[in-house]
A and B are shown apart, each in its own frame.
Chain A
């Protein structure tokens, strides 16, 4: 689950008098993610090292001049580029002390913004919509700049996006309440214009955020009424026709944020990854009407993942560089580290705290002397420490290993050691803190096992599954791996504890279980509870035969014999009196236990049905025989169902019978050995139908009873008309 960590201050702010703007014009990444260039709204550009909260350099233009766009860093030339007074481009290096002595070039038209991606060339976007590469512009600064936008059209927001090798300048404009999106491709240059759908009249979007993934540019925009829309523009089909014709841009509502009373004023939404959006200036849904919150929302599940109250006024500005959010509020610019691990439904619903995957290691936010002196590896970062190892610290006296160490160990160490360490780790931490790390451990173990066929640690995995902190979506390969390794105990545990096993996997398990030879199955160590249930079921002799649930086995036999011709009947009847075949469990004890586990997993029949069709007819017949056996046992004695806490219910058995028949009916009809079985099942159905029809007969009288009961209360005094015939 996404999380916001403890923040810290990068610098103070000098907001203007009425607190309408933060005083920051823009923040751009410098040489790496730890360095940023902050441009204030008046005259100065400042370079910071983020992790040290340290100012590395500052440049100021003369009194009377103002910076009109945020400074960018050209990583190719190690130069900074900024624009002052709309038309003067200034370029300088870190060594330059005075900005006035740096390179200056005056262009012929007002510049809106200079954009630069890392490793790319700066791009200049003019206020009238034209785009030039900085180099080509500086070659002839006074070159004429064309007017792309209409007369009353003004740019609201712009950004640059790299899609594979292509760079796109993307900007939105407003013209008399209409909003347009321009997508300018560089090399070769093409321009596409889209019209954004109108929200309520008089409402224009508060913020835009663009991201590129899967060959599409995703534009996210927030309206004051709390609606967050997403529009998707394909990068490939672009640039077929050029012209003023604005294509309508379809949008989809991604989130409806709670706005409390009134509209949002200063707010901003920013894409963090495909599923997460950071929102600032919007009330927290469970914290009243205050709007000074920073929240992370999951857009897939529409759930709030993390929230943080920011002291002071929110200006609706938000930047994000490498897992850090930069947010000006009050009189400070704060940096909030965050993480958005890949989410599963279980974690989104709070069922399971999602483990961090390896690459999204918690950001090292604040340097510690340890880090600097002994290198990064030796100690966990402070954020991790605050959140996770607080409990381990209690037992600091014993030489304890951290999660990171265990993870490293798993990658290389032999099975026994891994087993020992994981066990030790699990025994130390309490369950609440354990949840994120269990997922991490499991996925690391899985990847090791998958890569290294010799490595497999069943007991460790079983232990992890037993914590009940895992689910299938955290480690999707676990069940299949267990099947591959013929680790039926682990399979049973997974089926028992994972709430979200897909039908395909369930079916794979079923196939594996049903085809495993009984001899192999008996070798497996299985859960004792489930075994004891099956034992009582099998051992229970056919002593008491009663009519349960409208079905009596004796009448079933009579029904069966009705269907076959006279001579056969007699011989069959004889056989039945000696040992009725459907009373003997058709599969071995352990196999039955495993099949029971399948019966109890959750499924949706539409998804299960196609996979069930893959079963061979022998397997289907065997499974049906087993289900029939269960049904007969249950219908004889329904106390069986209450006996164990985990046993398939009669309804589950019936559902599976129906499913199997649905999936394989035509095949079964053709299979000669299935004939007796089908006849038996037919008689079940007939007895059930008979029961239902009997119930149907009395239904109307029961309805009458119901009607009589609701005869309305006439109260203390009433005058009624009664007709007698």
Chain B
């Protein structure tokens, strides 16, 4: 279950130019970050934006760490000071500087008691007494051999354990174990030729992991060298090596059952520790999370336009065309090439957090944490863009934007789980209503889905709630019973008005808005259970669509497949083959109908960023090949392999 929670993607706090985050720190439910701009930021997690920013006055900040008691934050600065901040209810307050050192503080770790802090610096480690602020020990870290002898060694990461052991990882590729009381070196493990960038220790301090710039993760365990005697001669033994990244491993976490690592290669990898999990369960599968599970692509279904959202600009493309005939499996000749119509640079320093394109292609809207901008697009021979100048003041800080099917309304999820409805016409944009639900959840709404007939609007928030509003009456119609897993895609059926929701644990529900209850099909699905292979997929469904020609068809997609669920067909039994398209293709037609089941899955596409069904019944799939992403990364440390 723990793994399952880990897998759920929650929200993105958009960044801002010049505010690179160097270090993060959780204090209970509060999140702090520090960066090389010298500022400490606390975030408003409800509205997904910085709550306040404090200048630390110590130059660039390299590290931030809070004590176990949650009372103090320590930051390590370029000028050689460790600054302590007291954590208050609404803010943090500077308390004192520890003894100033001659070189920058790269890493910090509190002793669990909170009485001492270890600081990693250039060529050395310092231990401070937090009461007096005095540096009590100086541990010299050896430089690398050979050419790197002249280069000072950087202690990139440090961990202070409760038995006063200090573990350090440095740029000479060493993981060193120190005695924090005596200030002596206990053991050196040479892990790599390059840098050890990150360390993480398990809760019970029996295991630690080190991430290197080769992309490997090395595990150490606190084991007894002899079997019989207890505790006396336990030592840190290098046990396992994982290689899940192609580039630097920058961040690590060690849970009870898994190693979670994030690297320069843009991937977050959950690697289960197989001795801690049951084999052949969902937890035992390694997972890579490459993409944010949210839509970065907008689609104008009627106009055939695509909107791509980048942190600093938007691109508008017109889809290409073909003559539209061909046998299954054919690649048609592209009669008209896709065309880039517009590149819109955002204003201000804040990154774009969401954007939307109206189905008619006439409106474009995007939002940063501070402002919303709406544009009217006119397609003549060439495209003209006009910013709508006066927006209602309610549209200020939004998390999600969405147009109604007839492009006459704009929905924006706003603070405290509310939805702002704005009417659009040729001339102006008028605030209509703010929709609120009755529960006390203040979590932001991350999914908005209006029905095609314009009567309903479904809104899902990260508290796993789904609320349905009646847009004619402008009030809450009903709330779907809360399911334990967060919805990742919701949509309302155009003819039956049933709400389909797909959740992070891959469950699918169909909820009738008329009856305000789960439909017969949904009950049948829950009773029979989804196919094992369906549940094993590790990327969430990111879109739900419907076939206007055939109301029994539901179209879903995740990163590696799309699927058409035919509600008229029998559900797959656990013994039937889920991915059966290949078999069906080889069968004669009558046999085929007997063998087919509700889940028609196509795995032709990889790394799918978005999928949408246009009004002309063609399906648009946007792939973002990981190789392209990799190609833009700086080259990893090059290792000589045999015969290369």
Contacts and interface: CB of A to CB of B under 8 A. Distances in A.
Contacts of B337: 717
B331 interface: yes
A724 interface: yes
A720 to B, nearest CB: 5
Interface string A478-495: 000000000000000000
19 contacts: A717-B337, A718-B331, A718-B334, A719-B320, A719-B331, A720-B330, A720-B332, A721-B326, A721-B327, A722-B329, A723-B328, A723-B329, A723-B585, A724-B564, A724-B581, A724-B600, A725-B581, A725-B585, A725-B596
A454 interface: no
A720 B326 CA distance: 8
B328 A722 contact: yes
Nearest to A718: B331
A135 B274 CA distance: 114
A714 interface: yes
Contacts of B338: 717
A261 to B, nearest CB: 45
B329 A721 contact: yes
A714 B320 CA distance: 15
Given A723-B585, A724-B602, 13 more contacts: A717-B334, A718-B334, A719-B332, A719-B334, A720-B329, A720-B331, A720-B604, A721-B327, A722-B328, A722-B329, A724-B600, A725-B592, A725-B600
B584 A725 contact: yes
Contacts of B163: none
B328 A721 contact: yes
A283 B332 CA distance: 56
Interface string B551-575: 0000000000000100000000000
Contacts of B327: 721
Q: Interface centre among A714, A718, A719, A722, by most B CB within 10 Å?
A: A719
Interface in B298-323: 320-322
A719 B335 CA distance: 10
A721 B581 contact: no
Interface in A704-719: 714, 717-719
A723 B327 CA distance: 9
Nearest to B326: A721
Interface of A: 714, 717-725
A722 B332 contact: no
Contact of B332 (A721, A723, A724, A725): A721
Interface in B110-137: none
Contacts of B604: 720, 722
A714 B625 CA distance: 12
Nearest to B600: A724
Contacts of B600: 724-725
A549 to B, nearest CB: 24
Contacts of B331: 714, 718-720
Contacts of A724: 564, 581, 600, 602
Contacts of A721: 326-330, 332
A725 B583 CA distance: 10
A718 B623 CA distance: 11
Interface of B: 320-322, 326-332, 334, 337-338, 564, 581, 584-585, 592, 596, 600, 602, 604
A27 B266 CA distance: 89
Contacts of B334: 717-719
A723 B584 CA distance: 11
A721 B564 CA distance: 15
B161 to A, nearest CB: 46
B129 to A, nearest CB: 61
Contacts of B321: 719
A715 to B, nearest CB: 9
A719 B331 CA distance: 6
Contacts of A718: 331-332, 334
Nearest to B564: A724
A723 B592 CA distance: 13
Closest 8 CB pairs of A and B: A723-B328, A725-B584, A724-B600, A719-B322, A719-B332, A721-B326, A721-B330, A720-B331
Nearest to B328: A723
A488 B338 CA distance: 80
A725 B331 CA distance: 19
A714 B600 CA distance: 23
Nearest to B317: A717
Contacts of A720: 329-332, 604
A722 B329 CA distance: 6
A725 B584 CA distance: 7
A657 B609 CA distance: 61
A717 B330 CA distance: 14
A719 B330 CA distance: 9
Nearest to B566: A724
A521 B602 CA distance: 72
B437 to A, nearest CB: 38
Nearest to B325: A721
A719 B336 CA distance: 11
Contacts of A725: 581, 584-585, 592, 596, 600
Nearest to B323: A719
Contacts of A722: 328-329, 602, 604
Contacts of A714: 331
B120 to A, nearest CB: 46
Contacts of B322: 719
B509 to A, nearest CB: 23
Nearest to B620: A719
Contacts of A719: 320-322, 331-332, 334
A722 B557 CA distance: 15
A132 to B, nearest CB: 80
A662 B602 CA distance: 55
Nearest to A711: B604
Contacts of B326: 721
A718 to B, nearest CB: 5
A717 B623 CA distance: 10
A718 B214 CA distance: 37
Contacts of B584: 725
Nearest to B563: A724
A458 to B, nearest CB: 45
Nearest to A716: B338
Nearest to A720: B331
B605 to A, nearest CB: 10
Nearest to B338: A717
Contacts of A717: 320, 334, 337-338
Q: Interface centre among B328, B338, B600, by most A CB within 10 Å?
A: B328
Nearest to A725: B584
A716 to B, nearest CB: 8
Nearest to A724: B600
Nearest to B604: A722
B562 to A, nearest CB: 9
A229 B83 CA distance: 100
A719 B319 CA distance: 10
Nearest to A712: B331
B325 to A, nearest CB: 9
A512 to B, nearest CB: 45
A717 to B, nearest CB: 5
A721 B328 CA distance: 5
A714 B602 CA distance: 16
A425 to B, nearest CB: 45
B319 to A, nearest CB: 9
Nearest to B334: A719
Contacts of B592: 725
Nearest to A723: B328
B338 to A, nearest CB: 5
A721 to B, nearest CB: 5
Contacts of B596: 725
Contacts of B328: 721-723
Contacts of B585: 723, 725
A721 B324 CA distance: 9
B297 to A, nearest CB: 14
Contacts of B581: 724-725
A53 to B, nearest CB: 63
